[in-house]
Structures are given as structure tokens and as C-alpha cells.
């Protein structure tokens, strides 16, 4: 009887792993949203390749989840292709491509922007996504894999005033590329979607707040409090990297098999409604 119970628990545990047998590549996977997603994918049965420029962090994380790590600067097309080739050499396929790498770039007035810095940002935030979609799609089509491609955009692409001019426009560009890619790749059964986080206290956002507010010792908890109080309809609540990872898990799983060309916004409703007018409901 005890053996039967253990067998039932094992089978039940296997059935809850939503990505069992899947192979994923995650750019920008060494920390923040990428790292949280790598852990979540692995916990759900996926074999994960982490591609990043943070070798120590990425290598350590890959070892801890039974994955692989490769140095990858998404600006370099050959680096992205090599990350996908690593997945193919390791597991013989790629099912999930999560194009997550990105940078914040320069802020300030549009009248004072350094255009070389703008070009550098676009080479990472947009060029890197092009590279990821291009080579992941080619591998999926060749293997006849009905895979999933996910790209990280931002709430800044939905509502003005939430990011710098270069960052905002780069994240808007990602939405357009996602939709056009979904149109082309749907015939192969490949789904292409975006996730758009808002106010997640990742290293990138915390560093931006430190710079803007001139508070070098500002902690993630303080950023979460600010966003929760003024940047969410769910007062006092702010999204975490784990919340975004769960959204990526949904889009990567069979539960979203009929969802493509979609932008999943994780913003606590902030970009959809003006809570300053909520007095009219009293």
C-alpha cells in the first residue's frame, strides 16, 4: 500500500511539471527576470541554456539547475546562434526561446540625447531580439518543432512617461517585431508572444531609481513600495521577478497553445485604468 502511495505521488509530481521534456534558451538569464525564469522553467521539467555576459553568475545558476551556460552578447549574432546551437548539441532541439536580454540606456531630454548611445541601446534591445527570433525560428522550422518564442517588452511600450525615450521606443519596436514574426511563423505552429513587466525591482530598475533620485543606497524594497503606492491599481502591491517568470511559464506551456501575437502585460492594471478618478465609484 505504501509503495502504491509513493508511486501515485511520483506520477502526480511528474504531471505537474508543465515543461517536461522541453528545451529552453534564455538570453539575459543570469540574474533578475531571466534568472527567475530559468529556475521556474527547470522546476517545471525543462532543460535550460542560460546565455548572458555575466559568466560567474550565469555559470553558477546553470550548475544549480542542471542546465548549461554560454557567454552571449546578443549584439553579436554569432553569439546568439551559438547559444541555440548549444541547445541543439546538448538535447537535439529547442522548444522555447526567451529573448530577455536588454539594457536601460541613456535618460534625459530628447534635445540632449547622445545618438551613439541610442544606437547602442537599439543594438541590444532590438537587434538582440532579431537575432534570437531569426535563429530560434530557423532551428524550429528545420526540426519541425512547434515551438514558442517569448520576448521581453515593457509597460513603457504601452503608456508614455514610464521610461526614457530610447528605452520606450526600443520596447515598442519589440512589440511590432513580435506581431510580424507571429504572422510569418504561425504556419509552422510556432507561437510568438511578448511579456511586458512593470515596476519589477530588478537590478536594472533599482539602479535607474538610484540614479534618478540620487540615492545610491536605495534598496529593492523601497522601489517596490514606491511602485506599489503609485504605480499599481492593486494598492501596496508590486510585481516580483517571480511573477514575470510565472507569466513566461504560462506562455511557454501547452496551456497557451492557442495564444500567439499577444502581449501579456504584468502591471497590476496600471496601464489600463486611471485610479485617480476612482472617487466616481463611491
Question: pLDDT means per 10 residues in the chain (282 residues)?
Answer: 45 72 99 98 99 99 99 99 99 99 93 97 99 99 99 96 95 99 99 96 83 85 83 88 98 98 96 76 70
CATH number of residue 120's parent domain: 3.40.50.720
Asked if residue 220 and residue 99 are part of one domain, the reply reads: no
Query: Is 255 found in the same domain as 234?
Result: no
112 and 95 Cβ atoms separated by less than 8 Å = no
Residues 218 and 117 in one domain: no
Tell me whether residue 180 is in a domain: yes
Residue 171 in domain? yes
pLDDT at residue 226 in the model: 81
Residues 154 and 230 occupy one common structural domain: no
Catalytic residue among 167, 188, 270, 281: 167
Q: What does the pLDDT read at residue 280?
A: 66
Q: Is 209 a catalytic residue?
A: no
pLDDT for 15: 58
Q: Are residues 130 and 221 in the same domain?
A: no
Rounded distance, CA 273 to CA 93, Å?
Answer: 42
Q: Is the dihedral of CA 197, 71, 89, 16 positive or negative?
A: negative
Q: What pLDDT sits at residue 207? A: 83
* 186 and 208 within one domain: no
pTM for this entry: 0.91
β-bridge mates for residue 192, sequence order:
149
Query: Do 226 and 137 share a domain, yes or no?
Result: no
Q: Do 156 and 219 fall within a single domain? A: no
Question: Are 33 and 167 members of one domain?
Answer: yes
Q: Tell me, what's the pLDDT at 213? A: 83
Is 117 found in the same domain as 90?
yes
User: Could you tell me if 166 and 263 lie in one domain?
Assistant: yes
Q: Do 261 and 121 fall within a single domain?
A: yes
Query: What's the confidence (pLDDT) of residue 203?
Result: 82
Number of other CB atoms surrounding residue 213 within 10 Å: 12
170 domain-assigned: yes
Q: Report the pLDDT value the prediction gives residue 225, as an integer from 0 to 100.
A: 85
Domain range enclosing 230? 201-238
Q: How many domains does the chain have?
A: 2
Assess if residue 57 is contained within a domain. yes
Measured CA to CA, the distance from residue 113 to residue 182 in angstroms comes to 33
Amino acid at each position: 500500500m505504501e509503495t502504491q502511495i509513493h508511486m501515485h505521488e511520483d506520477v502526480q509530481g511528474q504531471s505537474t511539471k508543465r515543461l517536461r521534456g522541453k528545451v529552453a534558451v534564455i538570453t539575459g538569464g543570469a540574474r533578475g527576470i531571466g534568472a527567475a525564469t530559468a529556475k521556474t522553467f527547470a522546476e517545471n521539467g525543462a532543460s535550460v541554456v542560460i546565455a548572458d555576459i555575466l559568466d560567474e553568475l550565469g555559470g553558477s545558476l546553470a550548475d544549480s539547475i542542471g542546465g548549461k551556460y554560454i557567454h552571449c552578447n546578443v549584439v553579436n549574432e554569432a553569439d546568439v546562434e551559438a547559444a541555440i546551437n548549444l541547445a541543439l548539441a546538448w538535447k537535439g532541439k529547442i522548444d522555447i526561446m526567451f529573448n530577455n536580454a536588454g539594457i536601460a540606456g541613456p535618460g534625459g531630454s530628447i534635445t540632449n540625447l547622445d545618438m551613439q548611445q541610442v544606437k547602442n541601446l537599439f543594438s541590444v534591445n532590438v537587434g538582440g531580439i532579431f537575432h534570437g527570433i531569426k535563429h530560434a525560428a530557423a532551428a524550429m522550422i528545420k526540426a519541425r518543432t512547434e515551438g514558442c518564442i517569448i520576448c521581453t517588452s515593457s509597460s513603457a511600450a504601452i503608456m508614455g512617461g514610464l521610461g526614457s525615450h530610447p528605452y520606450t521606443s526600443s520596447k515598442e519596436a519589440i512589440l511590432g517585431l513580435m506581431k510580424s514574426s507571429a504572422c510569418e511563423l504561425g504556419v509552422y505552429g510556432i507561437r510568438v508572444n511578448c511579456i511586458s513587466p512593470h515596476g519589477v525591482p530588478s537590478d536594472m530598475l533599482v539602479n535607474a531609481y538610484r540614479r534618478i533620485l540620487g540615492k545610491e543606497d536605495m534598496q529593492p524594497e523601497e522601489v517596490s513600495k514606491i511602485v506599489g503606492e503609485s504605480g499599481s491599481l492593486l494598492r501596496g502591491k508590486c510585481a516580483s521577478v517571480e511573477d514575470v517568470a510565472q507569466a513566461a511559464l504560462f506562455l511557454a506551456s501547452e496551456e497557451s497553445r492557442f495564444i500567439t501575437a499577444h502581449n501579456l502585460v504584468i502591471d497590476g492594471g496600471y496601464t489600463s485604468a486611471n485610479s485617480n478618478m476612482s472617487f466616481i465609484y463611491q
